[in-house]
Amino acid sequence: MNCLRKPLTKLIVVAGVAAGFLPGCRARERDVNPVQPTITVNRPRVPLGGALEVSYAWNVGAAAKPIQPGYQAFVHVLDPRGTVLFADDHVPVPPPDRWSPGRTYSYRRTVFVPVLPYVGEARLVMGLYSPRGGARVALAAEDIGRRAYRVGTIELVPQTESIFLVYKQGWHDPEVDPENPATERTWTAQEAVVSFKNPRKDVVVYLEAETCLRCFPRSPTLTVSVGPAATTLPIESREPFLRRFRARVADFGDDEWVDLRLRMSESFVPSQLTPPPNADPRRLGLFVYHLSLARVEDVSPLDGLDIEDLRPGFGGLVVPGQAAVSPGER
């Protein structure tokens, strides 16, 4: 659909060996810019398909030289042979051309690890490059070749070590991102349900999604519920959003399986709109990029993260065309 945009976190899976990363390609740099990149992750072991909170920092030395406009960060996750497993290339905050000597710039991003045919230790490398021509900046860090700088390691563990989701009703077939064939996205109907085995512990729900805002007569709302606990949020932007919710063990009950529901206040059929954006006859609600659960103890510490509690006892009653209301508000 024409209204779809890129997700917040774009993961790029690259096949082949990055030959420039081999130790034999290292060369002594004469024009090093005294900028030191660092990475801190919220958990050293992350399952395939899981969410990883990454804190990036750039320590700009007092003698640092200005960086030309247009440079971005590349962040590659490599297997032991130097193959790029996935990446989190992005524009730092603020952009490098706005950095001042003697300061440190830090920010946080959420990275969703794709489901890969690899588990084990992975190296984290980063640097600065220009998308126009691919030129890279020489930085003050451990160069493994081609001005890619080693900043740490993580361990990728099997998907079975995460909270496995069973997709039940309300999910259409996954769609491939045309700009990144390794990434799938899925439309829901007005309501979609997934189930997970009761972890008997608090969990964090990660949801990255968007919808076709112009396809609704009014701004829709989304209700997220786990058992009797829920929250409702308005969708007022065409941009993808990332939200984190905390679901507590007290709301899971004693059953072996727990349902997680995503319910839009309205839905739409593309072929029935005026004018129709396409001939799609499906009834659509939310366009989901990532839906992932993690035990709170596995992703701690959570300091500084924007996490919304699902409210116990919130009925989450949604009438099509109306905002969700709790029993006490009716």
Task: Write down the pLDDT at residue 65.
Answer: 95
The CATH label, of 3.30.930.10, 3.30.70.20, 3.40.47.10, 2.60.120.260, for the domain at 163-325 is 2.60.120.260
Mean pLDDT of 138-153: 96
Q: What are the pLDDT digits (tens) for 106-125?
A: 999 999 999 999 999 999 99
- Tell me the percentage of the chain whose pLDDT exceeds 70: 85
Task: Write down the pLDDT at residue 31.
Answer: 85
Mean pLDDT of 251-276: 96
Mean pLDDT of 76-82: 96
Going by pLDDT thresholds of 50, 70 and 90, the confidence category of residue 51 is: very high
Going by C-alpha positions, the residue among 128, 129, 144, 153 that lies closest to residue 36 is 128
Task: Write down the pLDDT at residue 168.
Answer: 96
Going by pLDDT thresholds of 50, 70 and 90, the confidence category of residue 324 is: very low
Residue-averaged pLDDT of the chain: 87
| Residue 157 CB-half CA count within 13 A | 14
Considering the entire predicted model, what is its pTM? 0.83
Q: Which residues contact 143 (CB under 8 A, 6 or more apart)?
A: 26, 29, 149
pLDDT at 18 over 80: no
Task: Write down the pLDDT at residue 181.
Answer: 72
The residue with tokens 């984190």 is 244
pLDDT at 16 over 50: no
Q: Which CATH architecture has domain 19-159?
A: Sandwich (2.60)
Q: What are the pLDDT digits (tens) for 179-201?
A: 777 678 999 999 999 999 999 99
pLDDT at 8 over 80: no
Q: What are the pLDDT digits (tens) for 209-262?
A: 999 999 999 999 999 999 999 999 999 999 999 999 999 999 999 999 999 999
Going by pLDDT thresholds of 50, 70 and 90, the confidence category of residue 327 is: very low
Tokens read off for 160: 């079975």
pLDDT at 321 over 80: no
Q: CA-to-CA distance for 324 and 103, rounded, in angstroms?
A: 46
Q: CA-to-CA distance for 301 and 303, rounded, in angstroms?
A: 6
Choose the weakest-confidence range: 20-24, 94-98, 151-155, 211-215.
20-24
Q: What are the boundaries of each domain within the chain? A: 19-159, 163-325
SS3 157: strand
| CA distances, 153 to each of 39, 105, 120, 214 (Å) | 9, 21, 10, 43
Going by C-alpha positions, the residue among 203, 164, 178, 145 that lies closest to residue 18 is 145
